[in-house]
Chains A and B, each alone.
Chain A
Amino acid sequence: MTALATQALPSRAHNFAYLDEQTKRMIRRALLKAVAVPGHQVPFASREMPLPYGWGTGGIQVTASILGADDVLKVIDQGADDTTNAVNIRRLFAKTADVATTTRTEEATVIQTRHRIPETPLREGQILVFQVPIPEPLRWLEPRETETLKLHALADYGLMQVDLYEDIAQYGRIAQSYDYPIEVHGRYVSSPSPIPKFDNPKLDRNPALLLFGAGREKRIYAIPPYTRVKSLDFDDHPFTVEKWDRPCDLCGATDSYLDEVVTDDKGGRLFCCSDTDYCEKRRAASAEKGMP
Chain B
Amino acid sequence: MSEAPLLRASGLGKSYGRIEACRDVSFGLWPGEVLGVVGESGSGKTTLLRCLAGEIEPSSGTVEFRDLQDGFLDVHRMSEARRRFLMRTQWGIVHQNPRDGLRMTVSAGANVGERLMSAGARHYGRIRTEALEWLERVELDTARIDDLPELFSGGMQQRLQIARILVSKPRLVFLDEPTGGLDVSVQARILDLLRRLARDLGLAVVIVTHDLGVARLLTHRLMVMRQGRVVEEGLTDQVLDDPHDPYTQLLVSSVIGA
B252 on the interface (CB 8 Å rule)?
Answer: no
Q: Are A169 and B114 in contact (CB under 8 A)?
A: no
Q: Are B124 and A234 in contact (CB under 8 A)?
A: yes
User: How many residues does chain B have at the interface if contact means C-beta atoms less than 8 Å apart?
Assistant: 23
Residue of A with least CB distance to B105: A141
Q: For B107, what are the chain A residues with a Cβ–Cβ distance below 8 Å?
A: 166, 169-170
Residue of B with least CB distance to A158: B118
A176 to chain B, nearest CB (A): 14
Chain B CB within 10 Å, residue with most, of A165, A166, A168: A165
Residue of A with least CB distance to B79: A154
B125 on the interface (CB 8 Å rule)?
Answer: yes
Q: Report how far A163 CA is from B107 CA in the complex, Å.
A: 10
A241 on the interface (CB 8 Å rule)?
Answer: no
Q: Main SS of the interface on chain B?
A: helix
B12 on the interface (CB 8 Å rule)?
Answer: no
Q: Are A168 and B124 in contact (CB under 8 A)?
A: yes
Q: Are A158 and B117 in contact (CB under 8 A)?
A: yes
Q: For B105, what are the chain A residues with a Cβ–Cβ distance below 8 Å?
A: 141
Q: Which residue of A154, A161, A165 is within 8 Å of B109 (Cβ)?
A: A165
Q: Are A162 and B123 in contact (CB under 8 A)?
A: no
Q: For A234, what are the chain B residues with a Cβ–Cβ distance below 8 Å?
A: 122-124
B119 on the interface (CB 8 Å rule)?
Answer: yes
| Chain B, range 110-154, C-beta contacts under 8 Å to A | 110, 113-115, 117-119, 122-125, 127-128, 145-146
Count of chain A to chain B residue pairs whose CB atoms are closer than 8 Å in the complex: 54
B103 on the interface (CB 8 Å rule)?
Answer: yes
| Chain A, range 135-188, C-beta contacts under 8 Å to B | 141, 150, 154, 156, 158-159, 161-163, 165-166, 168-170
Q: For A154, what are the chain B residues with a Cβ–Cβ distance below 8 Å?
A: 80-81, 84
A237 on the interface (CB 8 Å rule)?
Answer: yes
A264 on the interface (CB 8 Å rule)?
Answer: no
Mask: chain B, 44-80; 1 = CB below 8 Å from A; 0 = not: 0000000000000000000000000000000000001
User: How many residues does chain A have at the interface if contact means C-beta atoms less than 8 Å apart?
Assistant: 19
B106 on the interface (CB 8 Å rule)?
Answer: yes
Q: Report how far A165 CA is from B111 CA in the complex, Å.
A: 10
Q: Which residue of B113, B118, B122 is within 8 Å of A235 (Cβ)?
A: B122
A148 to chain B, nearest CB (A): 14
Q: Are B114 and A158 in contact (CB under 8 A)?
A: yes
| Chain A, range 42-100, C-beta contacts under 8 Å to B | none
A46 to chain B, nearest CB (A): 29
Q: Are A166 and B110 in contact (CB under 8 A)?
A: yes
Q: Are B114 and A162 in contact (CB under 8 A)?
A: yes
Asked, given contacts A159-B114, A161-B117, whether A236 binds B123 with beta carbons under 8 Å apart, the answer is yes
Q: For B117, what are the chain A residues with a Cβ–Cβ distance below 8 Å?
A: 158, 161-162, 165
Q: Main SS of the interface on chain A?
A: helix
Q: Report how far A163 CA is from B127 CA in the complex, Å.
A: 14
B85 to chain A, nearest CB (A): 9
Q: Which residue of B81, B84, B103, B119 is within 8 Å of A162 (Cβ)?
A: B103
Q: Are A165 and B110 in contact (CB under 8 A)?
A: yes
Residue of A with least CB distance to B123: A235
Q: Report how far A237 CA is from B106 CA in the complex, Å.
A: 19
Q: Report how far A235 CA is from B127 CA in the complex, Å.
A: 11
Asked, given contacts A166-B106, A169-B146, whether A158 binds B124 with beta carbons under 8 Å apart, the answer is no
Q: Report how far A154 CA is from B118 CA in the complex, Å.
A: 11
Residue of A with least CB distance to B127: A165
Q: Are A162 and B124 in contact (CB under 8 A)?
A: no
Q: For B110, what are the chain A residues with a Cβ–Cβ distance below 8 Å?
A: 162, 165-166, 169
Q: For A233, what are the chain B residues with a Cβ–Cβ distance below 8 Å?
A: 122
Q: For B119, what are the chain A residues with a Cβ–Cβ distance below 8 Å?
A: 158
B151 to chain A, nearest CB (A): 14
Q: Which residues of A contact B (CB under 8 A)?
A: 141, 150, 154, 156, 158-159, 161-163, 165-166, 168-170, 233-237
Q: Which 7 A-B pairs have the closest CB atoms?
A: A158-B118, A161-B117, A234-B124, A158-B117, A235-B123, A166-B106, A166-B110
Extra pairs beyond A159-B114, A162-B114 (19, CB < 8 Å): A141-B103, A150-B80, A154-B81, A156-B84, A158-B114, A158-B119, A161-B117, A162-B103, A162-B106, A165-B110, A165-B117, A165-B127, A169-B146, A233-B122, A234-B122, A234-B123, A235-B124, A236-B125, A237-B124
Q: Which residues of B contact A (CB under 8 A)?
A: 80-81, 84, 103, 105-107, 109-110, 113-115, 117-119, 122-125, 127-128, 145-146
18 contacts between A and B (CB under 8 A): A141-B105, A158-B115, A159-B114, A159-B118, A162-B103, A162-B106, A162-B117, A165-B109, A165-B110, A165-B124, A166-B110, A168-B124, A169-B109, A169-B145, A169-B146, A234-B122, A236-B124, A237-B124
